[in-house]
Amino acid sequence: MAERRMPGRAAADPDFLQFNDLTCETVGGKVIFATDEWFAPAQNLLKREPPQFVASAFTEFGKWMDGWETRRKRISGHDWCIIQLGVPGLIHGFDVDTSFFTGNHSPHVSIQAGCLDQLPAFTLEGDRTGMAASDSQMAAVAKLGSEAWPELVSVSELQPGYSDCCHNYFRVNCNWRVTHLRLNMYPDGGIARLRAYGVGQRDWLSVSTNQLVDLVALTNGGVCLGYSDAHFGHPRNMIGLGRAANMGDGWETARRLDRPKELKVDQRGILQVPGWEWVVFRLGHPGLISSIEIDTNHFKGKDTASGRGGILGNGRSFFLLRRYLRSHHRHHYSETELTLSHPVSHVRLIIAPDGGVSRLRLWGRLTPTTAASINQRRPTSKL
């Protein structure tokens, strides 16, 4: 049975949760070092799916857990790991999720961050359950000097993994580009997931104004600023990498409760239904959009039926009007179909009356501006 989201709980959630998870394995995040992974490997921290618990699941090393869990420490020190962000960028908050770690969660945590000019040559491969860092791995990671990286989250207490307290939120003020994180647990234990919410940051000085770029892509700094409904899937999923893996990897709204008891169409075949749903994105860089892709991959029986939808740029006017979206289909709109002649920095996608979209791509060319003005912008929540 689905968990009912209570209004009080929604109001208590920090607004940075609407931003992109820059560490998720689906965008290329990976753990490149961990001191110990006896019960469960650290790579589990970066899974997109919520943690699961299987009471009967055991491995040869002990209880199977869907997270990172180290052995009970009997030597000096504490456990830690290094995470390489899938999308380098500005981080505005963390969710350290201890779901299902009750009696074995890490009691304290801290998080440090670094910006490396070159990616480390070492990484971790395969299932590392039951393993610990070797002397050679310890020597290699020591060259990073991660113990001296700036601290984004000072040593803080973690709540155990019960459903009413498992999400440990930390808001941070980080106005510089981050490529790697060091997650410290004190002294040992388990953590289910680490989410680092922020905005990707690309080096726009390396991009020509003649080059076509997906201006709203997660990897290029696109970010969701607000939306009307995200009951089944958050709209930030639409700017993710590649095509959607399934319906859960897109934006899907609830069915509108104000829909008529009997549906009718007008003489043009357009469904007559009230209302619509919307989402606002800020582009990674202002630009002139020349083509659009709206992908409804995997959404079958959930198509957006009305022609009342469109894309609005900078609050001025629609530049893509009245397009019927087919189920499970990749829709392409060329420059000749767009009514837009000015650069935009924000867009609003409207679907009517409701439904789902898996991906949104806005291809265009950059508007000349200073890189500093782009890189220093901090997103503001509209929720």
Write the DSSP assignment of 287-332 as a string of letters. Answer: EEEEEEEEE-TT--S-----TT-EEEETTTEEEEE--PPPTT-EEE
d(CA 352, CA 254): 12
Least confident of 43-57, 128-142, 200-214, 357-371: 357-371
Q: Tokens 């510089």 — which residue?
A: 176
pLDDT over 90, % of the chain: 75
Q: Where are the domains of the chain?
A: 7-200, 204-375
Least confident of 112-126, 271-285, 302-316: 302-316
- In this predicted structure, what is the pLDDT of residue 250? 96
d(CA 146, CA 73): 21
For 7-200, CATH gives 2.60.120.260
- In this predicted structure, what is the pLDDT of residue 187? 98
- In this predicted structure, what is the pLDDT of residue 275? 86
> What dihedral do alpha carbons 67, 70, 72, 75 form, nearest 10°?
-160
Check whether 309 has a pLDDT greater than 60. Answer: no
- In this predicted structure, what is the pLDDT of residue 339? 79
Rg (Cα) of the chain, in Å, rounded? 23
Q: How confident is the model at residue 342 (pLDDT cuts 50, 70, 90)?
A: confident
Query: Mean pLDDT across the stretch 359-375?
Result: 76
Q: Are 38 and 61 in contact (CB under 8 A)?
A: yes
- In this predicted structure, what is the pLDDT of residue 373? 53
Query: Mean pLDDT across the stretch 36-48?
Result: 98
Q: How confident is the model at residue 249 (pLDDT cuts 50, 70, 90)?
A: very high
- In this predicted structure, what is the pLDDT of residue 316? 60
Say if 7-200 and 204-375 have the same CATH topology.
Answer: yes
204-375 folds as Jelly Rolls (2.60.120)
Least confident of 28-32, 91-95, 192-196, 202-206: 202-206
Helix (H) or strand (E) holding 31: strand 30-34
- In this predicted structure, what is the pLDDT of residue 228? 96
- In this predicted structure, what is the pLDDT of residue 90? 97
d(CA 124, CA 31): 7
Check whether 317 has a pLDDT greater than 90. Answer: no
Check whether 220 has a pLDDT greater than 80. Answer: yes
